[in-house]
A and B are shown apart, each in its own frame.
Chain A
Amino acid sequence: MTTVLAAEDLTKSFGDLIAVNGVSFEIAEGETFGLLGPNGAGKTTSISMVAGLLEPDDGTIHVAGTPIKTNSTDGRSDIGLVPQEIAIYPDLTGAENLRFFGRLYDLPGEKLDKRVEEVLEVIGLAERQDDLVSEFSGGMQRRLNIGIGLLHRPKLLILDEPTVGVDPQSRNAILESVEDLSGEGIAVLYTTHYMEEAERLCDRVAIIDEGVIKAEGTRRELVSLVGERDRIRVNVTGDLVEVARVASELPAVHEASPADSGVEVLANDASSLLPELLSRVSATGATVTGVAVSEPNLEAVFLHLTGKALRD
């Protein structure tokens, strides 16, 4: 796949504070790439450099092959930015906001009108397009915020924590919209400190903390990188000690121990292990009353890599 964004060795300091230190990553066409890290990790500084808002002290950025510089407008038309703040004008209508930014991207009159209509449909605001934005709910404003970033059909869409402060319903609508973008071939750079969002949306994730990328890869790669295992909870009635012993004899099982009214099993690949495990448990005479499988998540990975929780 074609590389849309290539960021190499980005470094940025503010006085004595090194906000970003040697950050590199690439995003391909149609790929959603997540920057996962707590507040102050360097996510916003990184995307500010990618968007051409901040000049890196060191490193290079290319979008669709064009170098991005703060003092040049080259390559800007290929970038769509959705800032963390709701960056729209409350005293303009939804359509007026879209038209204003569309004109800045040199969309000509008829094409602009058509594109505005399309985007309003996509973000579900066609019915409210002539209402002042100040009359919109927070979720509607967030959707318009994203719509402006999409208006000029960018090759790279940068979303900086787009769901902060959004109600669950609007949040889900936003996440669905982002999921659709990869189908349209747009490369998405998505920053978040919500582990669930990164897991749901991102093809690849970079875990960033204190300005440094600690690890990068698919969710599975990241998990295996730190050796985290799947957790299987088997609720049974019967001899819990015997059940745990039988389970621990399976080669894929790392550890099995009685807990409350069941057994906790740590294994490498829960989905392939589960049929045999349940068969062995039943053979002991115990009755299985419930099974729950939880794969290791990015939260655990982050904790393992940084020694602190994601929301610290």
Chain B
Amino acid sequence: MGAATQIAGKDLKLRVRDRSFFIMGIITPLALAYIFHLVFGNTFTAESLELEVGLVDLDGSEVSQSLGEVLSALEADGTLALSEFDDVAAAEAALEEDGGAFIVLDAGLGEAAVQGRPFTIPVVGDVDSPTSTEIASSIASGFGSAIERTQLSIVTTVGLGETPSPEEVAAWGEEAALRPPAFAFTDVSADTRQLDANTFFAAGMAVFFLFFTVQFGVVGILEEKQSGTLARLLAAPISHTSVVAGKAILSFSLGLISMTVLIVATGLLMDAEWGPPLGVALLVIAGVLAATSIMGVIAATATSADGAANLGAIIAVILGMLGGTFFPIGQGNDFLARLSYLTPHAWFMRGLSDISGGAEWTEALPAVGALLLFTLVFGTVAWVLLQRKLTR
């Protein structure tokens, strides 16, 4: 073990001096994660789902006011941000400034509702706020449907020879409006434990580049072979196992350092929320081991350091894409979702998702187990092949 740590220590010094580890293991993934955070962070974050919906109530009737009350309730529970305007021009000005969408309740809406006359509820949306516009349309549509159901009730009542008072109509309208709307909000981050955008990109880039980072260790055997220093190591009174173990220790150490720095940095710079430290630590350790094992197989089968680096890059990109480190590839496609679990990346991301949103660290254990299975299979193959490579 002493010789293995000597070799790992020497290699760590070399990697620090040639700066390759910093570039591949820290700077590049951090820069890309930050760029993704800047570009996509506001599109997918939970904050962006605080929908901007405006209301222009030109009717002022009890019926129209009932929609305002519903929207206020939705604002109170954090579903949307409500702005009320006195006229359409003011609403359009706000739309121009801030985006979002607004609903117009024209004068006479309440009367039309009572009298059973047709009515329209215009919805105006900003072209850059499709989600807000869609939600506002759904609210308006639901409200209109509720009024129509109320009108049917009124007709039925009138048909029975009773004339409802305006207060009764308003109450029916409000009751109708408070029925379950035509749209439904689902708190995705809570129910399916999906990572928020910042954490997703931080974790995705970290695990994607982890496979490049750990290459510096195991592929180092091929570099030493090419430079002639491997002969010198093998001629020394140390076992072949020490040489392979030294490279594996370096891979593991670099991977661990890279992931730790990225977790801390993305937490500080991008507000990434990785989850309970114990669960994250287990996932990171298992993920680094899995990455080291897979890259070990590549190093054992390649004939040169350049060949191993190229093959490793191809494998890392394919696994990274398939594993959903750039985008959640499996969403909406069962086949791809299943296929993605052939990659350690998918298990790592899933593990983080499982412990997000306040879940216990133990939720990470299935993913940790899967990553350790990758380690066992690929690690065994790599260990045998690399030992054999040294005796050729």
| Cβ < 8 Å to B, chain A residues 35-91 | 48, 51-53, 55, 70-71, 73, 76-77, 79, 81, 83-89, 91
| Cβ < 8 Å to B, chain A residues 82-109 | 83-89, 91-92, 96, 100-101, 103-106
Q: Which residues of B are found within 8 Å of A51, using beta-carbon distances?
A: 231, 235
Q: Are A92 and B227 in contact (CB under 8 A)?
A: no
With known contacts A92-B10, A100-B10, A52–B235 Cβ distance under 8 A: yes
Q: Are B13 and A92 in contact (CB under 8 A)?
A: yes
Q: Are B229 and A73 in contact (CB under 8 A)?
A: no
Q: Which residues of B are found within 8 Å of A148, using beta-carbon distances?
A: 232
With known contacts A83-B228, A89-B229, A92-B14, A105–B6 Cβ distance under 8 A: no
Q: Which residues of B are found within 8 Å of A53, using beta-carbon distances?
A: 231, 234-235
Q: Are B14 and A77 in contact (CB under 8 A)?
A: no
B186 at interface, CB cutoff 8 A: no
B239 at interface, CB cutoff 8 A: yes
Q: Are A106 and B6 in contact (CB under 8 A)?
A: no
Q: Are B232 and A73 in contact (CB under 8 A)?
A: no
Q: Are B236 and A101 in contact (CB under 8 A)?
A: yes
Contact with B along A254-297 (1 / 0, CB 8 A): 00000000000000000000000000000000000000000000
Which of B10, B227, B228, B391 makes the CB contact (< 8 A) with A70? Answer: B391
Which residue of B6, B228, B229, B236 has the most chain A CB atoms within 10 A of its CB atom?
A: B236
Which of A55, A88, A103 makes the CB contact (< 8 A) with B391? Answer: A55
Q: Are B227 and A85 in contact (CB under 8 A)?
A: yes
Q: Which residues of B are found within 8 Å of A76, using beta-carbon distances?
A: 235-237
Q: Are B231 and A81 in contact (CB under 8 A)?
A: yes
Cα distance A256–B10 when bound, in Å?
66
Cα distance A275–B96 when bound, in Å?
116
Q: Are B238 and A83 in contact (CB under 8 A)?
A: no
Q: Is the interface of A mostly helix, strand, loop or mixed?
A: loop
CB distance from A106 to the nearest CB of B (A): 7
Q: Are A77 and B391 in contact (CB under 8 A)?
A: no
Residue of B nearest to A80 (CB): B235
Q: Which residues of A are found within 8 Å of B240, using beta-carbon distances?
A: 71
Cα distance A14–B237 when bound, in Å?
26
Residue of A nearest to B5 (CB): A103
With known contacts A73-B238, A89-B14, A92-B14, A104–B233 Cβ distance under 8 A: yes
B329 at interface, CB cutoff 8 A: no
CB distance from B31 to the nearest CB of A (A): 25
With known contacts A73-B238, A91-B18, A92-B14, A86–B232 Cβ distance under 8 A: no
Contact with A along B1-42 (1 / 0, CB 8 A): 001001000100110011000000000000000000000000
Residue of B nearest to A148 (CB): B232
Q: Are A89 and B10 in contact (CB under 8 A)?
A: yes
Which of B18, B228, B237, B238 makes the CB contact (< 8 A) with A85? Answer: B228
Q: Which residues of A are found within 8 Å of B239, using beta-carbon distances?
A: 73
With known contacts A87-B227, A100-B10, A106-B237, A81–B232 Cβ distance under 8 A: yes
Q: Are B228 and A87 in contact (CB under 8 A)?
A: yes
Q: Are A100 and B6 in contact (CB under 8 A)?
A: yes
Q: Are B238 and A104 in contact (CB under 8 A)?
A: yes
Cα distance A92–B229 when bound, in Å?
13
Q: Which residues of B are found within 8 Å of A88, using beta-carbon distances?
A: 229
With known contacts A92-B13, A100-B6, A87–B229 Cβ distance under 8 A: yes
Q: Are B227 and A104 in contact (CB under 8 A)?
A: no
Which of A70, A83, A106 makes the CB contact (< 8 A) with B232? Answer: A83
With known contacts A55-B391, A100-B10, A104-B6, A91–B17 Cβ distance under 8 A: yes
Q: Which residues of B are found within 8 Å of A106, using beta-carbon distances?
A: 237
Cα distance A76–B229 when bound, in Å?
16
Q: Which residues of A are found within 8 Å of B234, using beta-carbon distances?
A: 52-53
Cα distance A41–B156 when bound, in Å?
109
CB distance from B9 to the nearest CB of A (A): 9
Which residue of A77, A79, A103 has the most chain B CB atoms within 10 A of its CB atom?
A: A103
Q: Which residues of A are found within 8 Å of B231, using beta-carbon distances?
A: 48, 51, 53, 81, 83, 85, 87
CB distance from A148 to the nearest CB of B (A): 7
Cα distance A73–B237 when bound, in Å?
5
CB distance from A68 to the nearest CB of B (A): 10
Q: Which residues of B are found within 8 Å of A92, using beta-carbon distances?
A: 10, 13-14
With known contacts A55-B391, A70-B391, A76-B237, A87–B232 Cβ distance under 8 A: yes
Residue of A nearest to B3 (CB): A104
CB distance from A256 to the nearest CB of B (A): 52
Cα distance A55–B13 when bound, in Å?
33
Which of A77, A84, A105 makes the CB contact (< 8 A) with B228? Answer: A84
Residue of B nearest to A87 (CB): B228
CB distance from B115 to the nearest CB of A (A): 88
CB distance from B149 to the nearest CB of A (A): 78
Q: Which residues of B are found within 8 Å of A103, using beta-carbon distances?
A: 6
Cα distance A79–B236 when bound, in Å?
8
Q: Are B237 and A105 in contact (CB under 8 A)?
A: yes
CB distance from A24 to the nearest CB of B (A): 21
Which of B227, B232, B391 makes the CB contact (< 8 A) with A101? Answer: B232
CB distance from A105 to the nearest CB of B (A): 6
Q: Which residues of A are found within 8 Å of B14, using beta-carbon distances?
A: 89, 91-92
Residue of A nearest to B239 (CB): A73
Q: Which residues of B are found within 8 Å of A87, using beta-carbon distances?
A: 227-229, 231-232
Cα distance A242–B239 when bound, in Å?
73
Q: Which residues of A are found within 8 Å of B228, using beta-carbon distances?
A: 83-87
Cα distance A100–B232 when bound, in Å?
11
Q: Give me 5 other A-B pairs in contact (C-beta within 8 A), A53-B235, A83-B231, A96-B13 excluded.
A: A52-B234, A81-B231, A89-B14, A91-B13, A92-B14
7 A-B residue pairs with CB within 8 Å: A71-B391, A85-B228, A86-B228, A91-B14, A91-B17, A92-B10, A92-B13
Partner-A contacts on B (CB < 8 A): 3, 6, 10, 13-14, 17-18, 227-229, 231-240, 391
Closest 7 CB pairs of A and B: A85-B228, A87-B228, A76-B237, A81-B235, A104-B236, A73-B237, A83-B228
